[in-house]
Structure 1
Amino acid sequence: MTKKLAVVTGASSGIGAATARRLVAEGFHVVAAARRADRLATLVKEVGDATAVECDVTDDASVARLRDTVEGLDGSLNLLVNNAGGAHGMDPVATGSVEDWQWMYDVNVLGTLRVTQALLPALEASGAGTIVAIGSTAGFVVYEGGGGYSAAKHAQNALIGTLRLEIVGKPVRVIEIDPGMVRTDEFSLNRVGDPAKADAVYAGVPEPLVADDIADCVAWTATRPQHVNVDRLVVRPIVQAAQHKVYRQQ
């Protein structure tokens, strides 16, 4: 049998690293792509059946090298997980940093676009391709202090929905997974830059989601029969009823 290949972007930590581990367990050879080569090397050593590729999804040449690496591997590209993303800042629109907004758009939207464009031909050629985009509930609900991130995730959602329409009839599924509150080592810390403020996001929340929960969603959607397309999977912890409605223990 032809080896199934899966590309996971943002694979050096959090949801990306958890997804890489899970997909190896599901029988994929994982191409783990991220900027931090040292972390990728550690991940590949841990999981075994994987290839590390240093990649910045905001750089055309870097994405081209990722494509070339995938094309040089022995196997069929069946899965792309567009996971690279993130948030910077929680300032209101009136005082928000244009630089932060630009970064969020570049990574979440244009990063997804670059990698998808680069790998779509190989996914189609496999005869059974799947694209999974890790979005966010911020992609369809706005909230104070989240304008830049929400705008980027709304745009990513528009990109993914449009792609699904444009390639209908081709052998490639397009899936969006939209998590709510997920506690990882870096997301909130990178966003606010202060460990105490990052911890406060989850204060009193009994059981937020963790990276493995989202990896489980990726694996489940990607391993359904090929005629089954899960357009959008919204996943939140049981204590989060909506974007603003979170139960916190006193």
Structure 2
Amino acid sequence: MAATPIAVVTGASSGIGAATARTLAAEGFRVVLTARRKDRIEALAAELTDAGHQATAYALDVTDRAAVDEFATAFRSLAVLVNNAGGALGADPVATGDPADWRQMYETNVIGTLNVTQALLPALTASGDGTIVILSSTAGLSTYEGGGGYVAAKHGEHVLAETLRLEIVGTPVRVIEVAPGMVRTEEFATTRFRGDTEKAAKVYAGVDAPLTAEDVADTIGWAVTRPSHVNIDLLVVRPRAQASNTKVHRTL
């Protein structure tokens, strides 16, 4: 009997990461959930196990390279890596943005993705049929005012995906980039505005049906389960109410 394929999901403690873990578990993967908040991923692993799926929680900070390398020693073969850990901080213009916020966003979104991808690439290759998913953003494709630091980080992540695909072509590993637009989750905007729920709510005010974490997870699940020879290089997914990063229909 063939072994159950393993999928690692970073940033799995909430939002898109947690939804992706549920989706991949339902698709038959044994999911390994990583995030800094151990209690959250352990609760999710228990939920999935109770539902008859295979799930393991592993507390991990993707910016800690030594910890990532230690985590990678557990895998000789790996089917899927979903690089989801990331996030935004602040919405200040370039003139007054906090360099510490820019640095943290770059470390988490870009260096974190680099750390995990480098560490797990040998196991993905050894599987003979590996898939790397990089969760970027439409912010990685075009700019908007007040988003300089996050946009710069997501552009970096987008270029990482493009370059990696060029460099490993011919190996049994495909690189899929999923770039969501406006997604309403329980934490993203609130974290960006440092707990200011009023500011966070204004991001989605009047928008008819922003994307949900489950919408993005469904997209990831679809892309990952295409036949091995099919590579979804870049998939941009937005709600119908959003035409671009700066053009959103609001019923206000």
Q: TM-score range by the shorter chain?
A: over 0.9
Structure-1 residue corresponding to 2:42: 41
Residue of structure 1 aligned with 2:234, choices 229, 232, 235: 232
**2:52 pairs with 1:50:** no
Aligned letter for 2:242? Q
SS of equivalent residue, structure 1 residue 104: helix
Distance 1:230 1:215 in 2: 15
Are residue 113 (structure 1) and residue 114 (structure 2) matched? yes
RMSD: 0.8
Query: CA shift at 1:245, angstroms?
Result: 1.0
- Matching of residue 201 in structure 1 with residue 206 in structure 2: no
What is the CA–CA distance in structure 2 between the aligned matches of 1:70 and 1:12, rounded to whole Å? 21
Report how far residue 68 of structure 1 moved: 2.3
Equivalent position SS for 1:189:
helix
The residue aligned with 2:213 is 211
Kindly state the Cα deviation for residue 24 of structure 1 after the two structures are TM-superposed: 0.4
Contact 1:31 1:70 in 2 (8 A): no
The one-letter code matched in structure 1 to 2:116 is V
Question: Gaps (5+ residues) in structure 2?
Answer: none
**In structure 1, how many angstroms separate the alpha carbons of the residues matched to 2:69 and 2:30?**
20
Q: What is the count of residue pairs matched by the alignment?
A: 246
Measured in 1, the distance between the counterparts of 2:35 and 2:70 equals 12
One-letter identity of the residue aligned with 1:65:
E
Aligned match of 2:142: 141
Residues 60-71 of structure 1 aligned to structure 2 (within 5 Å)? 60-71=65-76
Residue type at the aligned position of 1:54? A
Secondary structure of the 1:118 match is: helix
* Structure 1 unpaired stretches of 5+: none
Point out 4+ residue stretches in structure 1 off by more than 3 angstroms: none
1:32 paired with 2:37, answer no
TM-score, normalised by the number of residues in structure 2:
0.96
Opposite residue 64 of structure 1, the aligned amino acid is D
CA distance in 1, matches of 2:248, 2:65: 40
TM-score (norm 1): 0.97
Identity %: 62
